[in-house]
Amino acid sequence: MQGTPTMGHGMGMGMTTSPVQNEFREGPFIIRNVWARAATQADGLSAVYMVIENTGDQPDRLRHAHCDAAQTVELHETKMEGGVMKMQPVDGIDVPAKGTVELKPGGLHIMLIGLTRDLNPGDTIEVELHFEQAGHVHVEATVVKP
**pLDDT tens digits along 40-95:** 999 999 999 999 999 999 999 999 999 999 999 999 999 888 999 999 999 999 99
Spell out the SS3 assignment of the chain: CCCCCCCCCCCCCCCCCCCCCCEEEECCEEEEEEEEECECCCCCEEEEEEEEEECCCCCEEEEEEECCCEEEEEEEEEEEECCEEEEEECCCEEECCCEEEEECCCCEEEEEEEECCCECCCCEEEEEEEECCCEEEEEEEEEECC
- In the chain, the number of structural domains is 1
pLDDT digits (tens, 9 = 90+) for 110-144: 999 999 999 999 999 999 999 999 999 999 999 99
Residue 6 lies in a domain: no
Residue 10 lies in a domain: no
Q: What is the CATH number of the domain that holds 120?
A: 2.60.40.1890
Contact 143, 36 (CB under 8 A): yes
Q: Report the DSSP beta bridge partners of residue 95.
A: 60
Is residue 70 classed exposed, middle or buried when 0-12, 13-18 and 19+ CB atoms within 10 A define those classes? buried
Residue 15 lies in a domain: no
Q: What is the pLDDT of residue 17?
A: 60
Residue 29 lies in a domain: yes
**CA 82 to chain CA mean position, Å:** 27
Identify the domain containing residue 118 by its residue range.
23-144
What's the pTM value of the predicted model, to 2 decimals? Answer: 0.86
Residue 7 lies in a domain: no
Residue 32 lies in a domain: yes
Q: What is the pLDDT of residue 32?
A: 98
Residue 78 lies in a domain: yes
Residue 11 lies in a domain: no
